[in-house]
């Protein structure tokens, strides 16, 4: 069933689990993701970047995703990932997306607020959820900004208040792309705790491919418990461990999986030239990896 990010993620925040937001660029990846959600009985977010839209066409992508959502028994939201231009936000809303991200993270604070407010105004009219971002990640984002800036908790409070967004992407040390995180965890859990303690909307983690499972688990469960110190009530301590990250974005891990499966067929069975026999196994591999992510995020059986 088709629903919005706001509904899926407010529930996840309260239930202390995270919902995966998986990127797709074609039918096989999309079906692989939706099949996983059905098998795990998990809510799911499927998302497309501006680049995916430029590649496939928004009418094609929304048509297959809305068809899948309608047929699915689990809640499915269709989300625009990293919308940098308002024209893509408008196009997504027009084509039935139930959620959009306006990514002004590369802009100065006031400009980020201004463009986010515009996106919120457009989305509200159609009951579409809005995600924004404060702070920058490595990878594709540092190509734009040239540097990585982690989210400032005080600024985040002001940002949420002045924009009215439904969910906020935070920068706590992840980066986009493959082959990262080979060494020790560099996630700033202290910062996550500070943000979470003052922000009352679901938080989003981008660049989550390749992060070791125990670190993902910790981010979902929200890292460390607050310590019993003077001025911190027991109720506050209990609350502090309740909500962590509520939405986790995964793209690169699916790309690597899909590519490896296609390569495997092509290399081991050079006689095969039926596209269904090349792409079919890749679709199955997507289902497998997405199921594993859903279990890790604790969204299985939460549909």
| Cβ contact 81:23 at 8 Å | yes
84 is a contact residue toward Zn ion (CB under 5 A): no
Cα distances (Å, whole numbers) of residue 36 to 32, 127, 209, 294, 295: 6, 27, 17, 8, 11
Task: Say which entry of ligand 13P, Zn ion, ligand G3H, none residue 51 contacts (CB below 5 to 8 A, set by partner kind).
Answer: ligand G3H
Cα–Cα dist 247/203, whole Å? 7
Number of residues counted as binding Zn ion (CB under 5 A): 2
What secondary structure letter does DSSP report for 105? Answer: T
By CB under 6 A, tell whether 52 contacts ligand G3H: yes
Please confirm, yes or no, whether 81 is among the known catalytic residues: yes
Beta carbons within 8 Å of 141's beta carbon, 6+ residues apart: 105, 106, 148, 175, 176
Q: Coil, strand, or helix at residue 277?
A: helix
Stretch that binds ligand G3H, among 2-10, 44-52, 57-65, 216-224 (CB under 6 A): 44-52
Q: Does 251 bind ligand 13P (CB under 6 A)?
A: yes
d(CA 203, CA 151) in angstroms, rounded, equals 12
Query: Which one of 38, 133, 188, 251 is in contact with ligand G3H (CB under 6 A)?
Result: 251
**Which of 3, 35, 42, 49 forms a contact with ligand G3H (CB under 6 A)?**
49
Q: How far is the CB of 256 from Zn ion (least distance, A)?
A: 16
Under the binding rule (CB under 6 A), the answer on residue 129 touching ligand G3H is no
Which of 13, 193, 196, 206 is in the footprint of ligand 13P by CB under 6 A?
A: 206
- Of 9, 37, 16, nearest to 242 by C-alpha is 16
Q: Binding to ligand 13P by residue 207, rule CB under 6 A?
A: yes
CB of 82 to ligand G3H, least distance (A): 6
CB of 53 to ligand G3H, least distance (A): 9
Calpha distance 282→30 (Å, rounded): 11
Distance, C-alpha 148 to centroid of its chain: 19
Interface pick for ligand 13P out of 98, 163, 240, 252 (rule CB under 6 A): 252
Q: Which DSSP category does 150 fall into?
A: P
- The residue annotated as part of the active site, out of 81, 103, 188, 253, is 81
8 Å CB contact between 6 and 234: no
Applying CB under 6 A, the residues found at the interface with ligand G3H are 49, 51-52, 81-82, 140, 176, 251-252
Applying CB under 6 A, the residues found at the interface with ligand 13P are 23, 81-82, 176-177, 206-209, 249-253
Active-site residue set? 81
């Amino acid at each position: 069933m088709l629903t919005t990010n706001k509904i899926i993620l407010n529930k996840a925040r309260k239930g202390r689990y995270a919902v995966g937001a998986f990127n797709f660029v074609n039918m096989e990846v999309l079906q692989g993701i939706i099949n996983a959600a059905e098998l795990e009985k998990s809510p799911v977010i499927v998302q497309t970047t501006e680049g995916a839209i430029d590649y496939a066409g928004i009418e094609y992508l929304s048509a297959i995703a809305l068809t899948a959502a309608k047929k699915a028994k689990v809640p499915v939201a269709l989300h625009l990932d990293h919308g940098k231009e308002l024209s893509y936000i408008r196009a997504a809303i027009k084509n039935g997306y139930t959620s959009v991200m306006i990514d002004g993270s590369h802009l100065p604070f006031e400009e980020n607020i201004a463009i986010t407010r515009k996106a919120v105004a457009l989305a509200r009219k159609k009951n579409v959820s809005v995600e924004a971002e404060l702070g920058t990640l490595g990878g594709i984002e540092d190509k734009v900004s040239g540097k990585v800036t982690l989210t400032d908790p005080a600024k985040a409070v002001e940002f949420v208040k002045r924009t009215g967004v439904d969910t906020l992407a935070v920068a706590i040390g992840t980066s986009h792309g493959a082959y990262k995180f080979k060494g020790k965890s560099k996630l700033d859990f202290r910062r996550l705790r500070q943000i979470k303690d003052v922000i009352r909307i679901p938080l989003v983690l981008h660049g989550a491919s390749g992060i070791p499972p125990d670190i993902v688990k910790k981010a979902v469960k929200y890292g460390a418990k607050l310590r019993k110190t003077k001025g911190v009530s027991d109720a506050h301590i209990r609350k502090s461990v309740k909500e962590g990250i509520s939405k986790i974005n995964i793209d690169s891990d699916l790309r690597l999986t899909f590519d490896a499966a296609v390569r495997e067929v092509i290399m081991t069975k050079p006689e095969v030239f039926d596209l269904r026999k090349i792409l079919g196994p890749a679709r199955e591999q997507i289902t497998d990896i997405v199921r594993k992510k859903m279990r890790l995020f604790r969204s299985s059986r939460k549909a």
